[in-house]
Chains A and B, each alone.
Chain A
């Protein structure tokens, strides 16, 4: 269960990004809607949704959506999730969003994230409006029936609150130190 509750303001952070910058949610060049996703390199669930995350960023960039993906996994036990490996993944997949390394795991703990991937969607004034999974079919994008994140983003864009505000995140557990 998340530490953040519906309508809570986002918790700010400053983390290194695979593009060489340090990123904070307060940065002015981020879009008005912020989609914070706890994910990682190694987890098959994270991998299954990776291309869809890229598509979501592409689809809603012009509407002011910024995806901020964070890996908080213990990189000693899971070297596939080390910062250098994250940089490699960013390059391989041509990520169109920030991919941040939460080495101390403090951000994951502040948010109460437990799984990869697990998403937190904030509206234009930084309040949490959706938390949970991306859609209802990790294995086959063509068979997705409910696009939770996209539905929630569409609601925010049209000035409404999402109908579904919370789902269970499906994925690997965050690998705690």
Chain B
């Protein structure tokens, strides 16, 4: 199956490229194909419009990865994710990405 991924990012936070690399790594390991799009956010108006909560904000098949309920949208923010095990990280958890992609693949069988 093909998974649609949208990564929204800013250019002030260094997380976009390593996050993209991690997503591609997981997809390759699972042998899944994807349609990855990215969108650069440059001001608070765009941040609000695209529900950007920090770089990177990731949508997988339209669902926000580690969804956060907030009305605060700041274009220069870095996104915080939960880490495998314990703690926080600027990058999405590889384990969680595997779980989500595997589930999507299974549901499509």
Q: Which residues does A use to contact B, with CB under 8 Å?
A: 42-45, 47-48, 77-78, 138-139, 170-173, 175
Which residues from chain A contact B15 at a C-beta distance below 8 Å? 44
A48 engages B74 (CB within 8 Å):
no
B12 engages A172 (CB within 8 Å):
yes
- Bound-state CA distance A171–B78 (Å) is 9
Given A44-B81, A47-B80: A172 touches B88 (CB 8 Å cut-off): no
Interface residue B6 (Cβ < 8 Å from any Cβ of A) = no
Which residues from chain B contact A171 at a C-beta distance below 8 Å? 14
- Bound-state CA distance A42–B79 (Å) is 10
Q: A48-B90, A172-B77, A172-B78 are in contact. List 13 more A-B contacts (CB 8 A).
A: A42-B77, A44-B80, A44-B89, A44-B90, A47-B80, A47-B87, A78-B74, A139-B91, A170-B14, A172-B76, A173-B13, A173-B76, A175-B76
Which secondary structure characterizes the binding site on chain B?
A: loop
Which residues from chain A contact B83 at a C-beta distance below 8 Å? 139
Which residues from chain A contact B88 at a C-beta distance below 8 Å? 44, 47-48
> How many residues of B sit at the interface, in one of the four size bands?
10 to 19
Which secondary structure characterizes the binding site on chain A?
A: loop
Q: Could you write out 12 A-B pairs with CB less than 8 Å apart?
A: A42-B77, A43-B78, A44-B80, A44-B81, A44-B89, A45-B90, A48-B87, A48-B88, A78-B74, A138-B90, A139-B91, A172-B12
In the complex, which residues 60-109 of chain B have their Cβ closer than 8 Å to any Cβ of chain A? 74, 76-81, 83, 87-91
- Nearest CB in chain B to that of A172: its residue: B78
Which residues from chain B contact A78 at a C-beta distance below 8 Å? 74
- Bound-state CA distance A171–B87 (Å) is 17
Which residues from chain A contact B80 at a C-beta distance below 8 Å? 42, 44, 47
- Bound-state CA distance A173–B76 (Å) is 8
| Most chain A beta-carbon neighbours within 10 Å: one of B12, B90, B91 | B90
A139 engages B89 (CB within 8 Å):
yes
Given A138-B90, A139-B89, A139-B91: A44 touches B78 (CB 8 Å cut-off): yes
How far does the Cβ of B92 sit from chain A's closest Cβ, in whole Å?
11
A139 engages B76 (CB within 8 Å):
no
Which residues from chain A contact B89 at a C-beta distance below 8 Å? 44, 48, 139
Given A44-B81, A47-B80, A77-B74: A173 touches B12 (CB 8 Å cut-off): yes
B90 engages A139 (CB within 8 Å):
yes
- Bound-state CA distance A172–B75 (Å) is 12
Which residues from chain B contact A77 at a C-beta distance below 8 Å? 74
Which residues from chain B contact A138 at a C-beta distance below 8 Å? 90
Which residues from chain B contact A44 at a C-beta distance below 8 Å? 15, 78-81, 88-90
